[in-house]
């Protein structure tokens, strides 16, 4: 398998989406901001589990920042779709503002 294939991630609206357990990160870790999604509860439908309550965080990736202070925005959404939708909006706005400054 080529190195390129090993380094590819699932993407959403042009940004990588990485999941481990009930936590996901959306965005490039080398950029100023990323979105952290935390699945708080799940519902079962026809034998499949779906995210029910999801916490969404806009996180500043500055290296020296205190982890608690790195959270810029926070929201709780019902379902992964709504969480990803608001996360994508926050990320694009934050990265756009960071480019201006």
Reduced to 3 states (helix: H, G, I; strand: E, B; else coil), residue 47 is coil
Please, what is the end-to-end C-alpha distance for the chain in angstroms?
41
pLDDT category, 9, cuts 50, 70, 90? confident
pTM of the full predicted structure? 0.84
How many domains in the chain?
1
pLDDT band at 34 (very low <50, low <70, confident <90, very high): very high
Give the Cα separation of 49 and 2 in Å (integer). Answer: 33
**Residues 48, 29: Cα–Cα separation, whole Å:** 31
Quick count: other Cβ atoms within 10 Å of Cβ 84?
21
Contact (Cβ atoms closer than 8 angstroms) between residue 94 and residue 58? yes
- Which residues span the domain enclosing 73? 3-100
């Amino acid at each position: 398998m080529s190195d390129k294939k090993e380094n590819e991630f699932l993407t959403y609206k042009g940004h990588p989406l990485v999941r481990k357990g009930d936590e996901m990160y959306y965005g490039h870790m080398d950029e100023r901001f990323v979105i952290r999604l935390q699945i708080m509860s799940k519902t079962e439908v026809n034998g499949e589990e779906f995210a029910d309550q999801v916490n969404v965080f806009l996180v500043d990736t500055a290296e020296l920042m205190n982890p608690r202070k790195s959270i810029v925005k926070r929201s709780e959404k019902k379902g992964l779709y709504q969480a990803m939708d608001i996360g994508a909006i926050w990320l694009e706005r934050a990265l756009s503002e960071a480019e201006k400054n």
